[in-house]
Amino acid sequence: MALLINAQQISKTFGAEPLFRNVSLSVSEDERLGLIGPNGAGKSTLLQILAGRIEPDEGEVAVRKNTRIAYVAQRSDFSADQTVRSVIRRALESSNVAETDRDAREAETLGRAGFSDFEVSAAALSGGWRKRLAIAEALVTSPDILLLDEPTNHLDLDGIVWLEKLLLNARFASVVISHDRYFLQNVATDMAELSRVYPDGLLRVPGDYTTFLDKKAEFLSAQSKRQEALENRVRTEIEWLRRGPKARATKAKARIGKANELIEELADLNARTRSGRANIDFTATDRKTKRLFELDGVSFEIDGRRILSDLSFTLMAGTRLGLVGPNGSGKTTLLRLVRGEWNPTSGEVLRAPNLRIVYFDQNRPLDPDLTVRRALAADSDSVNYNGQTIHVASWAARFLFSSEQLNQPVSRLSGGERARVLIARLMLQPADLLLLDEPTNDLDIPTLEILEESLVEFAGALILVTHDRFMLDRVSTLVLGLDGNGNAERFADYSQWEAWQAERRKEVSGTGQAIPSAQERPKQVQKKKLSYLDSRDMETIEQRISEAEGMLAEKRAVLEDPSVVSDPQRVVVALKQLEDAQEAVDQLYERWAELEAKLA
């Protein structure tokens, strides 16, 4: 494969601290390179250097002659006077596309991006559709290499799947900064992590994200063993130096020099491997109430458009509900109804008395003029967490903020750092119910993993809106899918939601009109219709009961075995197995009765 971009030994510094030093990275034809790294490592800066928008302080970037590079920034903003069509036409005018081909190229590119109205204001689009437009603006120029900075941050799940298919079928190479682990697994042919923990500042591995994790673990294990061996050697050399060797001997001079080299190498290794991890731990209240809130026949309309239709749902303590659906399907609306910020058009929202709700707003409303100190502790230099008084500097360090950053304005923080500030504030509020609206945007993968652990261990209930499929699968115990037409269904996980969507698409009529909503269907059909998950259960329930009863018979036979009866320890084990088998059968019969009642 021909080389398109070759960056050698590049360095970049902003302020006193370097972002990265002596980093080398190349991109060849047909490669799809996923670029990850901790917040603040310089990923966006590196991408802009590859795009030719920023010059490195040191090193060189060589680009193959006539290579067309397209770059899509993390934020996709357009002016109020721009339409979808004008954005694409301006891009075409600045490219080498023949004028006679521009109309066809424009229609093809926008059509593939999912746009049907080319005259709509670009500034009025949602964040996800602005991102699609920015990608379409880059694609229409027929690039040889496409550079994308966090493209999945504002895309909904449908948009992410669209981007995956686009990159998988593309004839151009791509470099994508992303912390979406499923996206990286599905798309990347190569992975690279920019981090000071590596001697060269960057670790690159051919293969997908899983392959990268394996190789990274091997590298860090080898580096840890090297560090341990080096520490032992340095201790030996320091003891020798303390005994006062005579430096006149040639061998003694050489050993002193070698000892200094080892000490410097260890110091460098310690500095590189010294890394912090955010300490996230949400606090639940001691509420004993099991039923936290109930939606009873809730419908909601905006400007005559039905967002939710006759939704009934009960959230119990300990439930972790994932909300999925396209942009505009009502996910954030549902959170606002639960909070009481909005009232339903019809139906009721019933909340447990004195329900304590903590809300993470996807817009991250922080006063940009506040210092980090005041953003973390509004009125004093300490916070109260779980009954303990903690100094704001210690609280900030828990979220990887240095003491020097405390007096910086919030406006200077990165997106990931702002998210950590909000999480730090939310952790100070004990909650019965967490409402998290897109909490993953801009967070690096280590912080995402810590956030996931905290949510899994949270003793209260939570509702999670996220485009991060990995987090959705790991955290959620139940998924509620919204189809954008006011309808909702319950699912066990994201894959079931995907299957349901595929079935819905098959039901679209030949005229291109969607099937009638649940509200528009005959009442008797709606009454007897099972959800997707219930239908799957009903199809297999008899077979599963038969298998469970077979297992129960086996456990009874074991307990009747003379050799088991004569052994007290084996009897205890056999009884426990018999009880478990009986309980499994009872649960299946209860589930069958529940399903039959729904069809009655």
Highest mean pLDDT among 330-334, 346-350, 458-462, 549-553: 346-350
Q: For 334-375, how does the pLDDT look when each residue is reduced to its tens digit (9 = 90+)?
A: 999 999 999 999 999 999 999 999 998 877 778 888 999 999
Average pLDDT score over residue span 140-151: 94
What distance separates the 2 farthest-apart alpha carbons in the chain?
101
- Residue 76 backbone dihedrals phi, psi, to 5 degrees: -115, 95
Instruction: Name the residue ranges covered by the structural domains of the chain.
Output: 3-207, 221-273, 291-521, 532-599
Q: Check whether 523 has a pLDDT greater than 50.
A: no
Per-residue model confidence (pLDDT) at position 51: 96
- DSSP for 408-467? SBGGGS-HHHHHHHHHHHHTTS-BSEEEEESTTTT--HHHHHHHHHHHHH-SSEEEEE-S
Average pLDDT score over residue span 579-598: 76
In the structure, what pLDDT confidence band is assigned to residue 527 with cuts at 50, 70 and 90? very low
In the structure, what pLDDT confidence band is assigned to residue 276 with cuts at 50, 70 and 90? low
- Helix, strand, or coil here: 567? coil
Query: Please, is 299 exposed, middle or buried when counting C-beta atoms within 10 Å of its C-beta (0-12, 13-18, 19+)?
Result: middle
Per-residue model confidence (pLDDT) at position 434: 93
Q: What percent of the chain has pLDDT over 70?
A: 87
C-alpha–C-alpha distance, residues 185 and 116, integer Å:
31
Q: Print burial letters for 309-345: b (CB count within 10 Å at least 16), e (below 16).
A: bbbebebebebbbbbbbbbbbbbbbbbbbbeeeeebe
Per-residue model confidence (pLDDT) at position 532: 60
Per-residue model confidence (pLDDT) at position 207: 95
Per-residue model confidence (pLDDT) at position 579: 78
Average pLDDT score over residue span 412-436: 87
Average pLDDT score over residue span 579-590: 78
DSSP code at position 405: G
DSSP code at position 252: H
Tokens at residue 12, please? 């970049």
Average pLDDT score over residue span 166-182: 94
Q: Residues 156, 131: contact at Cβ < 8 Å? A: no
Domain 532-599: which CATH number of 1.10.287, 1.10.10, 1.20.120, 1.10.3470: 1.10.287
Q: Check whether 528 has a pLDDT greater than 60.
A: no
Establish whether domains 3-207 and 291-521 are of one fold: yes
The yes/no answer on whether domain 291-521 falls in CATH 3.40.50.2020 is no
Of 94-103, 155-164, 208-217, 475-484, which range is least confident?
94-103
The yes/no answer on whether domain 3-207 falls in CATH 3.30.230.70 is no
Average pLDDT score over residue span 451-471: 90
Average pLDDT score over residue span 519-545: 58
Kindly report the average pLDDT of the chain as a whole number. Answer: 84
Per-residue model confidence (pLDDT) at position 226: 78
In the structure, what pLDDT confidence band is assigned to residue 126 with cuts at 50, 70 and 90? confident
Average pLDDT score over residue span 568-574: 73
Average pLDDT score over residue span 93-101: 81
By DSSP bridging, strand 488-491 and strand 478-482 are antiparallel
Q: What percent of the chain has pLDDT over 90?
A: 40
Of 271-280, 376-385, 395-404, which range is least confident?
271-280
C-alpha–C-alpha distance, residues 399 and 418, integer Å:
11
Q: Check whether 495 has a pLDDT greater than 60.
A: yes
Q: For 256-268, how does the pLDDT look when each residue is reduced to its tens digit (9 = 90+)?
A: 667 677 667 666 6
Q: Check whether 515 has a pLDDT greater than 60.
A: no
- Residue 156 backbone dihedrals phi, psi, to 5 degrees: -80, 180
Per-residue model confidence (pLDDT) at position 29: 95
Average pLDDT score over residue span 301-319: 89
In the structure, what pLDDT confidence band is assigned to residue 245 with cuts at 50, 70 and 90? low
C-alpha–C-alpha distance, residues 351 and 83, integer Å:
44
Per-residue model confidence (pLDDT) at position 135: 95
Nearest-CA neighbor of 23 among 11, 14, 35? 11
C-alpha–C-alpha distance, residues 215 and 572, integer Å:
46
Q: Check whether 246 has a pLDDT greater than 70.
A: no
Q: Is the model more confident about 31 or about 327?
A: 31
